[in-house]
Structure 1
Amino acid sequence: MGQGVGPRRPRPRDGELGEAVARAQDGDESAFAVAYRIVHPGLLGYLRGLVGEEAEDIASEAWLEIARGLGRFHGDGAGFRGWTATIARHRALDHLRRQRARPRSAPLEQHALELPGRHGTDEQALESPAGERVLELVRALPRDQAEAVLLRVVVGLDGPAAARVLGKRPGAVRTATYRGLRSLARHLADTGAGDGDESGRGQE
């Protein structure tokens, strides 16, 4: 309690997503395309936060595995988001192991709290320059905090679902999310203060 990261409300399209997945499992290819369009922006944002420019390739690998294993999935729309995130994470970690690298830190930018999916559609947020900068910002966080923020805010999972993806306890994910968001907020405040000082000196 008191950490400022409460349970996420179901995403508005989770009902539509669940129905699409059920139809896709019955062989409706157009329904699978609907599920893809709903889930892919957040999933791609999550992967960008983990592997940067390789995200598109890793996403393609993940979707191939998702399509092949669709019949094994049991659950609703929110559950499908978690299941696909788990698959994408495994592919991303495999890639990082192959590259013998961890997500690299990027130069910090402003607007840290304008997280993808907060304003407008996921597609618009993630494809905007601000969305790209934010993903670079998140990648600068420690791995546990970055993944927690990405899963909670970008993918849209609740605490227990994010914990299942990461193989951790919900309390640990809640704490990591809080710390990650606090770090981003602190940087934003510091940057904003610096900009204000510069503008003030320019007017003297």
Structure 2
Amino acid sequence: MIGQRRGLAPRGNVAPVFDEVLAAAQGRAGWAFTQLYESLAPAVAGYIRAQGVSEAEDVTSEVFLAVLAGIQSFAGTEVQFRSWVFTIAHRRVVDARRTAARRPEFDSLDGSATAQQDARECTGTAEDEALRSLGTARVEDLLAALAPDQRDVVTLRILADVSLEEVAGVLGKRPGAVKALQRRAMAALRRRLSREGSERRHG
């Protein structure tokens, strides 16, 4: 468990580099794993919630328990670490979908939070920003109409702010295929939003 061994926290206001934090976390330094968790948990939770998974906080906790269990065997860069964490998150989402298919949930979704609050701030297209600005329930409604692979790409790329190369690694696809899926997904969302806007104007 975190904190079983005592680790030295970073001195002063100088943030340690990733390699130092990783090494400390692998040595069971509680402050180091906390720093890794706090840097990625909001994006992971946003990705899981945007996928329509119920009890997203519990699933997020499961992801980081798996990270804790496997962190000593991890070797790689910060980008590779992010990819590894989101690969675990993606597997948990797939598991949750299978569980939901066997035991459907009928509880209403909480739309009080926003997907934007759960994702890291980043720059993007006007369409990306518009999607982030929608409430969680609305985003889930829009994403539900997409094919599963398109939904995976959109939630990872836009809501969780994962790079193209990272998404390719998480989903086991080529970057070009990920880009094509994102392009088709955004086109589908644009058509739906345009259609709904037209219906409201003429309704």
Paired positions, count: 173
Determine the structure 2 residue equivalent to 1:202: none
The answer to whether the aligner puts 1:186 opposite 2:186 as a matched pair is no
Aligned-pair distance for 1:116?
3.0
Q: Gapped runs of 5+ residues in structure 1?
A: 1-14, 105-113, 199-204
Deviations 1:91-138 (A, max 9, x none): 22223333436999xxxxxxxxx973799859xxxx987244223322
In structure 2, the residue matched to 1:36 is: 37
- Residues of 2 paired with 1:194 and 1:44: CA distance? 33
Most deviating of 79-88 and 132-141: 132-141
Q: 2:42, 2:118 within 8 Å by CA — same for their partners in 1?
A: no
Deviation of the 1:170 alpha carbon:
1.7
Residue matched to 1:61 = 62
- Code of the residue aligned with 1:169 in structure 2: it is R
String of CA shifts for 1:40-84, please: whole Å, max 9, x gaps: 111112112334223222222111111111112222332222111
Greater CA drift, 15-24 or 147-156: 15-24
1:1-204 paired onto structure 2 within 5 Å: 18=18, 20-100=21-101, 116=116, 121=121, 130-197=135-202
The letter of the residue matching 2:58 is D
CA distance in 1, matches of 2:198, 2:64: 43
Secondary structure of 1:58's aligned partner: helix
RMSD: 3.6
| Contact persistence 2:151–2:185 (CA under 8 A) | yes
Q: Which runs of 5+ in 2 are unaligned?
A: 1-14, 106-113, 123-131
State the identity as a percent.
33
Question: Which stretch of structure 1 is more off in the superposition, 50-59 or 142-151?
Answer: 50-59
Q: Which residue of 2 aligns with 1:11?
A: none
Helix, strand or coil at the partner of 1:156:
coil
Q: Cα–Cα, structure 1 residues 148 and 120, in superposed 2: closer, same or farther, change >3 Å?
A: closer
Using a 3 Å threshold, how does the CA distance of structure 1 residues 51 and 196 change in structure 2: closer, same or farther?
closer
Q: Which amino acid aligns with 1:93?
A: V
**How much does 1:25 deviate?**
2.5
Task: Give the residue type in structure 1 aligned to 2:38.
Answer: R
Pair 195,119 (structure 1): closer, same or farther in 2 beyond 3 Å: farther
1:135 and 1:84 map into 2 onto residues whose CA distance is: 22
